[in-house]
């Protein structure tokens, strides 16, 4: 489970050890073995060359060549067989790490306070961190092993080199220091540039979705906006490509320049080995193997060291983001299933001088907002967009609890209810309700995951007049809807809305709220659907949220929200009796929407 703390490079080892201990230990042991291979190779090749030279000069028996050949064969087996075995170990470990770590991150996201979802900065952070966490952790772990491999391999070769010529070893160390510094600096700068590229990439991927997604096909054809969106896509893509190209160029220049410098220094080092060879302090075998090892080491230090340190710098920057993500505040009981409160019967709902402004903003959405609602009546909130209607529902459902004033349900302070209890007795269909690519049955069952009552499912379908649609489906309630599966059936906008409301009816919640889920319908159809819902939902306390007053008229009481307050409250007839009232003016401006059926609906 993710803890609210700073994550460091050390966690890149601890996390794999916690989740995949066997694979992690195997990877470390292989790293140690592989790190010693360059030194082993140097000594074995020197042994082989010296033995072969002795045999060629007639100073040794041919049987002596068997041992160095056997040692060389051991080197070949280790360097060729073990990498393939480790790929299998790495694959099994990566799969388990992927499942476990992603599960922990999904749970963390589920527990986040809702304010982080609506905040652009934290949403960018969430998207950035959760894009490929397993890749970063696995690459980070492998990067540590790579760095340790390089360090141990270099140290072991330095011991051999310095045992023959101390000054040569000092030169190699002096080469490593500036390369090390440049690599870290480049990696840190590249990560910062990569963040900009990531933000731009998200934007052009959203545009690409508009250009290719089936949901937008009709409007793409009707409005012909593809070329305009394509131009924006091209501009953002080029902007992102320019940044990424700069990153690649900077990386290549640093690596290549380091490689050339290291190569020149390697030549100098070889020159330093010639005097000891000439003086007999080095055997011909050790000289040849050292020359080979030094050029290999210098190449590794120029390329592998730079790449390893740049990766290290990028991963450190990612861990800063990961730590910030892990520290994001959580909602208590956020992932808990709804709890049914025994004997709960709704009596009243009251807001007392409630004030609220969204985190990170200065504008108050609600200001001293007060009202009281009681059982036995249906209510509707109306008002202009942005007046605060949906914010009232967000506070009521516990999405935000940092408000001023007090909210009561049944004269009990809302903060005294657990979030799981609020989930249990309040159910909402929002304007942007979800369209689940599941079966019809499962779409409705999501309204109450604590029960599985097929009779209630069919009742909800019947009440929302969806029987005809179900009968036309090949597999009835077990038909997949949406566009995900090959044999799934996509629904019309109105059918999706009725399905979402059927999901609400299936819940056992005592309080039902419709927050403009029918906004896509025309005003008259919306009114009809609200009237239908009002007739079949008489046993639940109901709140309608709408800016269309024809739908609000069916409510017993209407609350007009304006500038974060309840400006007017009363029945349709009462509010229409105020000649200069806000509701009367709003209804007059919308009257033409309903004139075609005014005699039927409004008299």
What residue segments make up the domains of the chain, in order of their start? 11-326, 348-434+509-596
State whether the Cα torsion 505-508-512-515 is positive or negative: negative
Q: Is residue 361 classed exposed, middle or buried when 0-12, 13-18 and 19+ CB atoms within 10 A define those classes?
A: exposed
Cα distance between residue 561 and residue 382, in whole Å: 6
The answer to whether 11-326 and 348-434+509-596 have equal CATH topology is: no
User: Which spans in 507-597 are helix H?
Assistant: 523-536, 549-552, 572-576, 582-594
240-253 pLDDT per residue, tens:
777 777 777 766 66
* 3-state secondary structure at position 335: coil
- CB-based contacts of 304: which residues, under 8 Å, 6+ apart? 146, 150
- Asked if pLDDT for residue 124 goes beyond 80, the answer is yes
- Asked if pLDDT for residue 113 goes beyond 70, the answer is yes
Q: Which residue has the tokens 């991150």?
A: 105
Mean pLDDT computed over 195-202: 70
**In this structure, what DSSP letter does residue 9 have?**
T
Contact 305, 385 (CB under 8 A): no
Pairing of strands 404-409, 412-413: antiparallel
> What is the Cα Rg of the chain in Å?
35
Q: Which residue has the tokens 């990877």?
A: 27
Looking at every residue in the chain, the average pLDDT score rounds to 81
Token readout for 360 is: 């990170």
What percentage of the chain carries pLDDT values higher than 90?
A: 16
Segment among 60-74, 195-209, 394-408 with least mean pLDDT: 195-209
Cα angle: 513, vertex 514, 517; to 5 degrees: 155
266-290 pLDDT per residue, tens:
677 777 777 777 777 677 777 777 7
pLDDT at site 193: 67
Segment among 65-69, 165-169, 345-349, 517-521 with least mean pLDDT: 517-521
- CB-based contacts of 380: which residues, under 8 Å, 6+ apart? 543, 544, 545, 546, 551, 552, 554, 555, 557, 558, 559
- Asked if pLDDT for residue 601 goes beyond 50, the answer is no
546-569 pLDDT per residue, tens:
877 776 778 889 999 998 999 999
CATH topology of domain 11-326: ABC transporter transmembrane region fold (1.20.1560)
452-489 pLDDT per residue, tens:
888 999 998 888 888 889 988 888 899 998 876 777 88
More reliable by pLDDT, 205 or 80 = 80
pLDDT at site 394: 93
Contact 334, 12 (CB under 8 A): no
Among residues 122, 34, 37, which one has the least CA distance to residue 72?
37
Pairing of strands 404-409, 379-382: unpaired
- Asked if pLDDT for residue 602 goes beyond 50, the answer is no
More reliable by pLDDT, 88 or 526 = 88
pLDDT at site 301: 63
213-248 pLDDT per residue, tens:
666 666 666 666 677 777 777 787 787 777 777 777
Pairing of strands 379-382, 557-562: parallel
pLDDT at site 168: 66
More reliable by pLDDT, 151 or 357 = 357
CATH topology of domain 348-434+509-596: Rossmann fold (3.40.50)
pLDDT at site 92: 80
Range with top average pLDDT, 176-185, 290-299, 343-352, 519-528: 343-352
- Asked if pLDDT for residue 422 goes beyond 50, the answer is yes
- Asked if pLDDT for residue 598 goes beyond 60, the answer is no
Q: Is residue 306 classed exposed, middle or buried when 0-12, 13-18 and 19+ CB atoms within 10 A define those classes?
A: buried
List Cβ<8 Å contacts ≥24 apart for 237-241: 237/204, 239/200, 240/197, 240/200, 240/201, 240/204
Mean pLDDT computed over 157-174: 70
Phi-psi region of 256 (alpha: psi -120 to 50; beta: other; left: phi over 0): alpha
Cα distance between residue 517 and residue 468, in whole Å: 22
Q: Give the number of C-alpha atoms closer than 13 A to the C-alpha of residue 444, restricted to the C-beta side.
A: 27
pTM for the model: 0.70
pLDDT at site 540: 86
pLDDT at site 191: 61
What percentage of the chain carries pLDDT values higher than 70?
A: 82
């Amino acid at each position: 489970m993710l803890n609210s703390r700073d994550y460091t490079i050390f966690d890149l080892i601890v996390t794999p050890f916690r989740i995949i201990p066997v694979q992690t230990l195997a990877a470390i042991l292989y790293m140690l073995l592989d790190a010693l291979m360059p030194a082993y190779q140097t000594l074995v090749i020197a042994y082989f060359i010296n033995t072969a030279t002795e045999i060629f000069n007639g100073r040794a028996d041919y049987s002596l060549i068997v041992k160095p050949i056997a040692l060389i064969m051991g080197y070949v087996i280790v360097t060729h067989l073990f990498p393939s075995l480790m790929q299998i170990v790495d694959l099994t470990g990566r799969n388990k790490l992927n499942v476990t770590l992603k599960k922990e991150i999904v749970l963390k996201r589920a527990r986040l306070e809702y304010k982080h979802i609506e905040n652009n900065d934290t949403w960018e952070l969430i998207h950035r961190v959760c894009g490929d966490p397993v890749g970063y952790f696995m690459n980070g772990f492998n990067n540590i092993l790579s760095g340790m491999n390089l360090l141990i391999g270099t140290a072991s070769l330095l011991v051999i080199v310095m045992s023959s010529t101390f000054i040569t070893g000092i030169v190699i160390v002096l080469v490593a220091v500036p390369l090390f510094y440049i690599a870290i600096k480049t990696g840190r700068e590249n990560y910062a540039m990569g963040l900009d590229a990531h933000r731009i990439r998200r934007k052009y991927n959203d545009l690409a979705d508009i250009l290719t997604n089936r949901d937008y096909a009709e409007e793409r054809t009707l409005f012909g906006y593809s070329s305009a969106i394509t131009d924006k896509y091209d501009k953002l893509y080029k902007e992102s490509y320019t940044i990424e190209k700069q990153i690649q160029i900077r990386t290549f220049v640093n690596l290549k320049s380091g490689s050339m410098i290291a190569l020149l220094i390697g030549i100098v080092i070889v020159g330093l080995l010639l005097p000891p060879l000439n003086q007999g302090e080095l055997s011909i075998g050790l000289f040849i193997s050292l020359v080979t090892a030094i050029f290999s080491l210098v190449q590794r230090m120029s390329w592998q060291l730079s790449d390893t340190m740049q990766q290290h710098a990028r991963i450190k920057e990612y861990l800063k983001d990961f730590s910030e993500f892990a520290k994001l505040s959580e909602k208590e009981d956020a992932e808990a299933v709804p709890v049914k409160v025994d004997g709960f019967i709704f009596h009243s709902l009251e807001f007392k001088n409630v004030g609220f402004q969204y985190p990170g903003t200065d504008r108050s959405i609600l200001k001293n907002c007060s009202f009281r609602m009681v059982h036995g009546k249906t209510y509707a909130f109306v008002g202009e967009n942005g007046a605060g209607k949906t914010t009232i529902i967000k506070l009521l459902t516990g999405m935000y609890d940092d408000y001023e004033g007090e909210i009561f349900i049944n004269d009990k302070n809302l903060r005294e209810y657990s979030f799981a209890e609020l989930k249990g007795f309040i159910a909402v269909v929002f304007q942007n309700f979800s369209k689940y690519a599941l079966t019809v049955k499962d779409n409705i069952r999501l309204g109450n995951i604590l029960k599985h009552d097929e009779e209630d499912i069919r009742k909800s379908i019947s009440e929302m007049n969806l029987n005809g649609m179900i009968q036309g489906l090949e597999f009835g309630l077990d038909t997949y809807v949406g566009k995900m599966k090959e044999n799934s059936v996509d629904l019309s906008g109105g059918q999706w809305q009725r399905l979402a409301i059927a999901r609400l009816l299936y819940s056992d919640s005592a309080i039902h709220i419709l927050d403009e889920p029918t906004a896509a319908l025309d005003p008259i159809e919306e009114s009809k659907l609200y009237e239908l819902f009002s007739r079949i939902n008489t046993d639940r306390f109901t709140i309608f949220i709408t800016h269309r007053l024809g739908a609000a008229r069916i409510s017993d009481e209407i609350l007009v929200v304006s500038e974060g307050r309840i400006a007017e409250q009363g029945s349709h007839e009462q509010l229409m009796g105020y000649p200069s009232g806000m509701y009367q003016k709003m209804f007059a401006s919308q009257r033409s929407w309903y004139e075609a059926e005014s005699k039927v609906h409004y008299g």
